[in-house]
Amino acid sequence: MPQTRFPRRLMILLIVGAAVLAVLVGVGLYGLLLAPRSEPSPGGSSASDPPGASTSAPSPTSSAPPVVRESDDPETFARALANALFTWDTATEFGPTDYAQVIVDVGDPSGNETAGLASDVRTYLPTADAWAQLRTMQTRQWLDINDVFVPDEWATALEQASEGQILPGTVAYTITGVRQREGIHGTEPVSSSHDVAFTVFITCEPTFDTCRALRLSELDNPLR
């Protein structure tokens, strides 16, 4: 299968520097440690939840990283991918590498985008040092999805792409939601919420029988 290249303007969105990663990790730790103390939120639905929102929190006793179920429906796959990307629990024996592998396992089977996808995923997960700190607080995280849509900029990118540059069945979904974290600080339960937005690039039929993840945008710098 020929190697696929994204338009240059999309690749720019996918380049994340070490400084940005450090800021993201710092914000995550600060948000957990200094968040208002409250009873752990079950992440259940409420009257204010928008239609189609994903509001189910992962089980705090989950014994394994989430699995991205196969689907030939692009939006269904995008939602599953987003949830897996943000769902982790430091109280288990698993680490960032294990959670990253879940996403890589549903990546481009040709291997052309594997290294890029793995690099993208690492920017969404805490570093090993940050993970160790979060583990002392038994921190877990999940995502409440607010909206999933094909951004207007993707249509523009398709128009500008040369023939054969983008695989048939490739689509971008921008996802907005709230990153939720819960943990224990000392003896008190703490929680934090942070609005997030990002874009997932996936390829489905006719190129692949089931949808596959290609790349991820920089967190909070999605296509609009």
Distance separating alpha carbons of residues 165 and 151, to the nearest angstrom? 19
φ/ψ of 197, rounded to 5, equals -150, 140
Give every CB contact of residue 207 below 8 A, 6+ residues apart in sequence. 167, 168, 169, 170
List, for residues 126-147, the tens digit of each pLDDT value: 999 999 999 999 999 999 999 9
Q: Which residue shows structure tokens 């006719």?
A: 206
What pLDDT does 62 receive? 54
Mean pLDDT of all residues in 23-31: 38
Distance separating alpha carbons of residues 120 and 110, to the nearest angstrom? 18
Q: What is the pTM of this model?
A: 0.75
Between CA 217 and CA 12, with CA 101 as vertex, the angle to 5 degrees is 20
Express as a percent the part of the chain with pLDDT over 90: 70
What pLDDT does 48 receive? 34
List, for residues 61-104, the tens digit of each pLDDT value: 456 899 999 999 999 999 999 999 999 999 999 999 999 999 99
Strand-by-strand arrangement of the 140-149 sheet: 88-89, 140-149, 170-185, 188-203, 212-216
User: DSSP 3-state helix, strand, coil percentages of the chain (rounded to 5)?
Assistant: 30, 25, 45
Distance separating alpha carbons of residues 103 and 81, to the nearest angstrom? 7
Each residue of 17-33: b (16+ CB within 10 Å) or e? eeeebeebbeebbebbe
Q: Which of 58-72, 99-113, 169-183, 203-217 has the lowest mean pLDDT?
A: 58-72
Strand partners, 140: 89, 182
196 or 37: which leads in pLDDT: 196
